[in-house]
Structure 1
Amino acid sequence: MTSINFCFDIWTGSNRHSYLGITGHWIDVEGDEKNALLGFERIQGEDSHSGENQAAVFWKVIKKYGIEHLIGCFTLDNASNNDTALKAIARYLRRLNITFVLEERRIRCFGHILNLVVKDFLWGSDPELLKLGLEERGDDADEIAVQQFEKDFDSWKKVGPLKKLHNALVFIRASTQRLDQFANIVRTTYPEESNVSVIPVIGNLTRWSSDYASLKWSLKKREALTEYLQEAADSKDYKQFSNEDMLSTDDWKDLVDIMAILEPLKRNTERFQFAYASGSIADIIPVMDEPFEFFEAVREVHKHNDR
C-alpha cells in the first residue's frame, strides 16, 4: 500500500453548522486506485475556520485510523489558513519523528485556481474584495463578512453590465409586489412555457458558478426583464430603481459575450468535479493548458472591442 494523499475543506450546512470533510486517496497492494471519505467532522468555536483548528480535527481523524505514518501529500485550495493547517500537521508529525517538508507535500487545487481566475475576469481586482481577502481565502473562510458585503449591493463593485444585472435582479426580489408584477410579465411573454421560473437567480461573491447560473437565467428572460425594468424606470412608485442600472442593447450584447466565455469554463470545471474526481496528474496536467489557450483566443477575438 502506498502513502495516503489527502484533501480537506470546510463546508457550511443550511443549519449554519460548519463541517470539515476529509478524503483519502491511495493505491492498494493490488495496484488499484482507492478513494474514501475518512471524516466529516463538525467544527466549532470562534476560530473554527482557523488552520490550527482544522489541523486538530484532521489529526483526530488520522489517529482514529492509525495512519499517521502513511501521510503523503495534500491537495488544498489557496486559502492561507490551509498553509497554517499544514504547518500544524508538520509539528504533530515531528513529535513522532516523521519528516514532513511542507513545500514538497502542498499541492494547489487547480479547480480553486480556475475559480479565482474566472472571478477576476468577471469582477476585476476590486479593492473591496481585496480588503475582504476573498481571493486568498477559502470559499467559506469569512462567510459573515461576505454576507454583510452582499447586503449592501451598491458597494458590490462589479463592472459594467454584470453590476447592472445584479442590481436589477436584487431590485425585483426585494418585495413580493415587484415579484408578482414581474411574474405576470414573464407568464405573458412566455405563454408556451409551463412551470416557467419567475424568481430571479442572483449570484454571490464566493463562487463564479452562481453568477453563471444568474446570467444563464437572465438571458432566457431577457425580453421580460427588459419590459419590467423599463416600466420600473418610468414609474414614480419605483424611485429606488436607478436609470443607471437600466440594461442597454450594448449591455445585453456584452452579457451574451460573457456567457459565451463562461460556457466552456463551466464545462471544464464540471470535468474536474466529475470525470476527473480522483485528481490524477495524468488527467489534470493536460487540461491545465486549456483555460490559458482559451483566454488567449478570447483576448484575440475581443482585442478591438472597446465596450
Structure 2
Amino acid sequence: MAGLRENASQPRTLGLMHANPKNPTYSTTVSTTFRHHLFKVHGIELDAHDHPVKKQRDNLIQDAFAKAGEVSAARQLMRQEDTLRAAVNRKAALEALVQLVTVRNLSYNCSSWPELHALIGAVNYTAEGIISLSHGSIQKLVSNSYCVHKDILRRRLQSSPSKLHLSADLLRHVLEDYNIWNKIGFYTGDNHGSNDKLCRLLGEHLHARGMSWEPRKQRIRCHGHVINLAVQAFLFMDSKEAARAALEQIEGDDEIAFGADFAQRVKTQRALGWRRLGPLGKIHNISVHMRENDYRWNLFKKRAGRSLGMDNDTRWNSWFLLLDVTLNLQEHVEWYQRRYYENLQDAYLAPNEWSILRETRTFLQPFWKITQLTEGRYATLDRTLFTMDVLHRHYTQAFQKHHENHALRSCIAASWAVFDKYYQRMRALPMVRQ
C-alpha cells in the first residue's frame, strides 16, 4: 500500500493506492465502508468522527432535555442502556418507518432529517442506529416491503373462492402481473362507450386465452350514473316518446354508447331555453338574478340565513338541492320576487307553481336518498338491486298518484323510459337470475 488519496475534483471519494499493480485500487464514497475496509483488510483502525446529522441530533436532544429540566433524569437513564436496547424491536420499527414514508408520501432523504433522529433518540436514545443515514436504505426498505405485500395480495387473489368483481379501469399489465385472468367476474363502470369497448376487447383477449367472458352479460352499469340519466330525463325531456326516440336514434348508430350520447342529447334539450322547464326554470333564473349582484345576494342571505345555491351540469342532485332549499325558504323567495318584480316578471312563481315544485320534490326525494345510500363502500351489488326494485315501485306509485296531472305524468314517463331500459338490463345479468 503506497498511501491514501482523496479525489478533490469529484464528490468526496476516499481510496487506496497500491504499489503492487496486481492489487486493484480501492475507493468508496462512504467513510464507514472505507474504515471497515482498512480494519478488515489492512489491520488499520481509524477513529470515527460523528456524522454531522448525528451531532445535530445530539444537540437537539440535549436542548430538549435542558429545556425540560431533565438533564439529571437523562443521566440516570444511561444506566439502563441494556434494558432500553432490549426494548427496541428493530423489525417493527423499520416497518413503521416504511408505513410513515409511503402513507405520508415522504421523500427518501427523510432518513437524514436531524429532527427525526432527535425524536427517536428522545424516546429511546439507544435506538440511534436503527435508521440508516443513507437515502438508498429507505428506498430499499420500501421496495422490499412492496414486494412482500404484493406477493401476499397475489396469493389472496389467486386463491379467491369466488370470481373477482372489478370496479376500476382494467390494466392489462396488472392482470398479467397478478396472473388473475381466470378470476375476472364482472366489471362495473359508467355508461360511456369507451367502457363497453374495453369490455369487448377484454372478452376477445380472454377468448384468445381459452377463457369465456361475455362483455354484455358481465358488464355492470354504474348505479349512480343510471339514476343521473333517469332524473335528467325527468327534468329536461318533453315526454316518454321523446326520451325513447332519443334512445332509439342513438342505438341505431352505436348501441353500446347510447348512455353517453343520451346525456349529450339531454344537454341539448336543456340548452333550448330555461323557460321550457317551467317552475324549475324560474328557480334557476331567480338564483341567477341574485348572483348577478353582490348587494342582492347579500341582502337575501342576510334575511334568509343562507343563499339558494346554484344548479350545475355535473350532477342532477344540484337541481334537487336548489329545489329543496327554495321550498324551505319559500317565504323569503316570495319576498325577493315582490321586491324585484320588475326584473323577475317572467320568473315569478305563482301559487299553483309552488304546488308543482312540491310535487316535483316529492318525486325526486327517493332518488336523492338512494344516491346517498349507494355511495362509496355502500355501493354493493345486493344494495344496488334492492334500490333498483325500490325505484321501480316508486315509479308505479307515481303513475297512479299523478294519473290526472298530464304534465307531471309526462315527465315521469320520460324518466321511466330511461330507467326501465337499464333496469331490464340489470335483471338480465346472469348473477341476478341465479
Partner of 1:279: 381
Say if 2:277 is the partner of 1:159: yes
Task: Give the drift of 1:161.
Answer: 0.8
Say if 2:225 is the partner of 1:112: yes
Q: Structure 2 matches for 1:78-157, cutoff 5 A? A: 78-125=191-238, 136-137=259-260, 155-156=273-274
Task: Give the drift of 1:213.
Answer: 1.3
Partner of 1:248: 350
Task: Give the drift of 1:260.
Answer: 1.5
Q: Which amino acid aligns with 2:199?
A: L
The DSSP-based 3-state class of the residue aligned with 2:260 is coil
Q: Which amino acid aligns with 1:74?
A: Y
Q: Which amino acid aligns with 2:280?
A: L
| Aligned partners of 2:286 and 2:347 also within 8 Å | yes
Task: Give the drift of 1:103.
Answer: 2.5
| Aligned partners of 1:276 and 1:284 also within 8 Å | no
The whole-number CA distance in structure 2 between the counterparts of 1:306 and 1:100 is 45
The whole-number CA distance in structure 1 between the counterparts of 2:376 and 2:355 is 32
| Aligned partners of 2:163 and 2:183 also within 8 Å | no
Q: Which amino acid aligns with 1:63?
A: E
The whole-number CA distance in structure 2 between the counterparts of 1:71 and 1:182 is 53
The DSSP-based 3-state class of the residue aligned with 1:102 is coil
Partner of 1:22: none
Q: Which amino acid aligns with 1:114?
A: I
Partner of 2:138: none
The whole-number CA distance in structure 2 between the counterparts of 1:60 and 1:27 is 15
Task: Give the drift of 1:271.
Answer: 2.1
| Aligned partners of 1:218 and 1:225 also within 8 Å | yes
The whole-number CA distance in structure 2 between the counterparts of 1:306 and 1:277 is 35
CA RMSD of aligned residues (A): 4.0
Write 1 or 2 for the structure with the bigger share of helix: 2
Task: Give the drift of 1:211.
Answer: 0.9
Partner of 1:197: 306
Question: C-alpha offsets along residues 62-119 of structure 1, whole Å, 9 cap, x if unaligned?
Answer: 3343333322211233332221121222233344343332233222334432322222
The DSSP-based 3-state class of the residue aligned with 1:104 is coil
The whole-number CA distance in structure 2 between the counterparts of 1:72 and 1:185 is 54
The whole-number CA distance in structure 1 between the counterparts of 2:272 and 2:226 is 27
The DSSP-based 3-state class of the residue aligned with 1:107 is strand
Partner of 1:179: 294
Say if 2:362 is the partner of 1:260: yes
Residue among 325, 329, 339 paired with 1:217? 325
The DSSP-based 3-state class of the residue aligned with 1:165 is helix
Question: C-alpha offsets along residues 212-255 of structure 1, whole Å, 9 cap, x if unaligned?
Answer: 11112222232222222333332xxxxxx452222212111111
Partner of 2:187: 74
Mean Cα deviation higher: 243-252 or 119-128:
119-128
Question: C-alpha offsets along residues 275-300 of structure 1, whole Å, 9 cap, x if unaligned?
Answer: 742223xx343432211211221222
The whole-number CA distance in structure 2 between the counterparts of 1:306 and 1:35 is 43
Task: Give the drift of 1:274.
Answer: 5.4
| Aligned partners of 1:172 and 1:182 also within 8 Å | yes
Structure 2, unaligned runs of 5 or more = 1-155, 251-256, 408-434
Partner of 1:232: 340
Question: C-alpha offsets along residues 109-165 of structure 1, whole Å, 9 cap, x if unaligned?
Answer: 34432322222222225879x69x8972189x97xx96xx79x96635752111111
The DSSP-based 3-state class of the residue aligned with 2:355 is helix
| Aligned partners of 2:236 and 2:277 also within 8 Å | yes
> What percent of counterpart residues are identical?
22
Q: Which amino acid aligns with 1:213?
A: L
Aligned length: 241
The whole-number CA distance in structure 1 between the counterparts of 2:258 and 2:236 is 11
| Aligned partners of 1:27 and 1:33 also within 8 Å | no
Rg (Cα) greater in structure: 2
Q: Which amino acid aligns with 1:260?
A: T
Write 1 or 2 for the structure with the bigger share of strand: 1
Q: TM-score, normalised by structure 1?
A: 0.63
Q: Are residues 125 and 85 of structure 1, via their aligned partners in 2, closer, same or farther at CA, if it must alter by over 3 Å?
A: farther
Question: C-alpha offsets along residues 163-189 of structure 1, whole Å, 9 cap, x if unaligned?
Answer: 11112212322x3xx23223223423x
Which 4+ residue blocks in structure 1 deviate beyond 6 angstroms? Answer: 30-37
